[in-house]
Structure 1
């Protein structure tokens, strides 16, 4: 099965769909590796002037695949800590690929954007949400840090530091309506109008000059970058890996969810 679909709904517009709805488009490696490769290919497709990213089914992306994340590539002979570092690097590169794309990227958030799914949306240049979309910085709920894949770098820049602190430290859900109010998304629309709204924005962008759009994207991001995103993500990743590898919190959170009880974190 192809877990990443590419369509050309309008001239100059590419639609990229995460296509594993039965797993809520979770970030398994057999989804994220082709997603990164697909985005890199589209970035160099000069017929594409804007990119829309969405999820199949009822979710945008539900973050870490807690059932079976699969096996990262190129890890033969590595020990568990190094495999974890390589896996984090791979996921970091998905976020960085979105940021580096020549074309503006519009996330059409059609449902849950949780953990890494929230990070994918934040890495996009524009976010439009369906009415039933919601957002969650889920790491804290799983006994880990909420900082991952650039989240503690990108979220404060989208909604301000106080809101970002509160969202990340409580692990609560942010509805589409609230997301629009606080600037996490540019607007929310009816579910059945989501892609049309994203295409409308994409087609308007496609009307303008290529260098004008590319340079505007670059300068907007550079104006927000107080430091190095890659260095910041490395720090985030090390903190996340420390908690993941040195505690049993993630396993406890997963077991508690299956058993329909509150987790009891001992570490």
Structure 2
């Protein structure tokens, strides 16, 4: 049984499932290498307009696999210290791959997202949680730092610095209800409705203009690093002009409203 599954639950929507439920989809290299490859494959698929990432069984991802970590490819002849660097680079690349996707990524968090699994959920553009989901920055509980795989960068930007400091330094669980209240997830749904809710949102996004969606994703992420409002607005304005002047999408939207029908964007 493959450790990563790729399905298409709806037109133009691809679902990637971490498929090692007996280990709570832990981040063994046997799972993360094919997951990174799946992300890259889906990113090249021009028929995919939105992506859903989830976990099989009762967990989203339980973080580092402490019992069966798997084997890192391409480490023959390396020392332990270099192997450690390669392993962190590989896991960092998974987070970067999620961010680099042209398509928006929706994390359907079906259960615990612990440690590195918390980081994976934050690398997505949107998070929807089942009522059984919980989040924990587990590194601090294990005598390490709580900040890993981009968590120290992503979490303060998602929920604010004070909340991020408290959650990361305390090592406590954040349940689904609190996650929704503090903006860590966009909404919480009953577990049995999670994948349908994520697929429905993905399908809605897939119905919009491809460059409009892709540039919106880029602008939202770049806004988090913008040095000033003026700097961000310059980029934002150019993106808007690009779509407006190189497509007939705006005219199609106006005509569709006049005819009381959904627009069909030809880009």
1:48-92 Cα offsets, whole Å, 9 max, x none, are 000000000000000000111011111011000100000000000
CA shift for structure 1 position 200: 1.2
Counterpart in 1 of 2:216? 216
Counterpart in 2 of 1:230? none
1:168-196 Cα offsets, whole Å, 9 max, x none, are 00000000000000000000000100011
Counterpart-to-counterpart distance in 1, 2:136 and 2:78: 33
Q: Trace 1:62-81 onto structure 2 (pairs within 5 A).
A: 62-81=62-81
Counterpart-to-counterpart distance in 2, 1:22 and 1:79: 31
The alpha-carbon distance between structure 1 residues 88 and 190, as it changes in their structure 2 partners (threshold 3 A), is same
1:215-242 Cα offsets, whole Å, 9 max, x none, are 0000100111269xxxxxxxxxxxxxxx
Q: Trace 1:103-122 onto structure 2 (pairs within 5 A).
A: 103-122=103-122
Cα RMSD, aligned residues only: 0.8
Counterpart in 1 of 2:133? 133
Q: Trace 1:8-27 onto structure 2 (pairs within 5 A).
A: 8-27=8-27
Counterpart in 2 of 1:249? none
The secondary structure found in structure 2 opposite 1:102 is coil
Please say if 1:158 is aligned against 2:158.
Answer: yes
- TM-score, structure 2 as length reference: 0.84
Counterpart in 1 of 2:145? 145
Counterpart in 1 of 2:168? 168
The secondary structure found in structure 2 opposite 1:164 is helix
Q: Trace 1:198-217 onto structure 2 (pairs within 5 A).
A: 198-217=198-217
The secondary structure found in structure 2 opposite 1:140 is helix
Counterpart in 1 of 2:53? 53
- Bigger radius of gyration: 2
Please say if 1:6 is aligned against 2:17.
Answer: no
Q: Which runs of 5+ in 2 are unaligned?
A: 228-267
The secondary structure found in structure 2 opposite 1:14 is strand
1:109-154 Cα offsets, whole Å, 9 max, x none, are 0000000000000000000000010000000000000010000000
Bigger relative contact order (CA 8 A; separation at least 6): 1
The aligned length equals: 227
Moved over 2 A (4+): none
The secondary structure found in structure 2 opposite 1:196 is helix
- TM-score, structure 1 as length reference: 0.84
The secondary structure found in structure 2 opposite 1:121 is helix
